[in-house]
Chain A
Amino acid sequence: MIVLGVAGSLRQASYSRKLLRAAGRMLPPGVDFVEYDALKQIPPFDEDDEPEPGDAVEKWRDALAGADAIVFATPEYNASIPGALKNAIDWASRPFDDTVLRNKPVAVIGASTGMFGAVWSQAELRKVLGAAGARVIDRELLVAAAHEAFDEADELEDHDLRLELDGILVELLDNVRRRVAA
């Protein structure tokens, strides 16, 4: 089983990337965690470019199509989703009736240095992914004060947050197994 991880921030040392990797390490044996790290290469969505979207978009779509499930870890910019992440989902959502996201189990988690842990961007990302046809886990992980949330090994310090994250991942993988069994 392959779980694709996508960090919404482009910054290499971002907290959302740190959170994403912490989630990847929590996945059980037998699950391969693959991090997608080329959001910056994806051009702005343009319907005129759809016939030949280019390598970056093809690789992004292939990465999504090849994954059994996806974890998105997002920061929050101006109470919403980073533009590069939204842009990538817009590319992935086309054509709507045959998108690589259709019925794909996805989970959304997030981190911010503020008090609310990217709560709004997570809600918006769940909405966007649902509109793109994905099977969105109806849970959130609010990592607030992200600059203080990780220990020296980059693990979440807060025990309850680790439990919540584990629960989200269990639900995500359960949805994959249910899909395979059907």
Chain B
Amino acid sequence: MSVTDVEISTAGLPVGTWRLDPTHSSASFAVKHMGVATFRGRFEKFDATLTVEDESAELVGTVDTSSIVVKDQNLQAHLGAPDFFDTERYPELTFRSTSLRREGDELIVDGELTVKGNTRPVESRGEIAGPAVTLGDVTKLGITLEAIVDRTEFGLNWNAPLPKGGFAVANDVKLVVELELIHA
């Protein structure tokens, strides 16, 4: 990896404003389905900005809830309806960090996630790579974060009981973002 001249903050993060490269980033979720398997979906449209100064850092993100993508068209329509994300009333979900810290290649980000008008604290962990000088002399940073949230705390309560007990969809949902960020 090419060495850059980006300064490092007291929290060990590269100083500057880092904007999303949407083509090379993803925002997805995974939830246990029928108690046995893992169902995954993703959002096509989202944005994120990491701002690092000497003494502070903030990661903010927004997701266009209507850009949800799953493999079944009918399910996709249901996920956008009031039973789930209610995209008419809540077109965005948002994240704003309250603390970021780096421990080697590990990144720990606490913050507040707002979904359907419900704001709850979220703890996420992941990896940070870079900064590195890439093609065209563009300096980039890679961040991967995972968090587990209880969807019912955000008003996503839909479920269906199974004939022999249990429910079709788990309450815990894993959120995963993989961000390629460009030094502005």
Contacts and interface: CB of A to CB of B under 8 A. Distances in A.
Indicate whether A and B interact.
yes
Interface of A: 96-97, 99, 102-103, 130-131, 133-136, 178-179, 182
A131 B78 contact: yes
A96 B82 contact: no
Contacts of B88: 103, 135, 179, 182
A103 B78 CA distance: 11
A26 B116 CA distance: 31
Contacts of A97: 73-74, 76-77
A133 B73 CA distance: 13
B89 A102 contact: no
B139 to A, nearest CB: 41
B85 to A, nearest CB: 12
B76 A130 contact: no
B167 interface: no
Interface of B: 73-74, 76-78, 80-83, 86, 88-89, 158
B163 to A, nearest CB: 16
A130 B89 contact: no
Given A96-B78, A130-B82, A134-B81, 13 more contacts: A96-B73, A96-B74, A96-B77, A97-B73, A103-B88, A130-B81, A133-B77, A133-B80, A133-B81, A135-B86, A178-B89, A182-B88, A182-B89
A106 to B, nearest CB: 10
Nearest to A105: B82
Contact of A135 (B73, B78, B82): B82
A27 B89 CA distance: 25
Contact of A131 (B73, B83, B86, B89): B83
Contacts of A133: 77-78, 80-83
8 contacts: A96-B77, A130-B83, A131-B83, A135-B86, A135-B88, A178-B89, A179-B88, A182-B88
B6 to A, nearest CB: 42
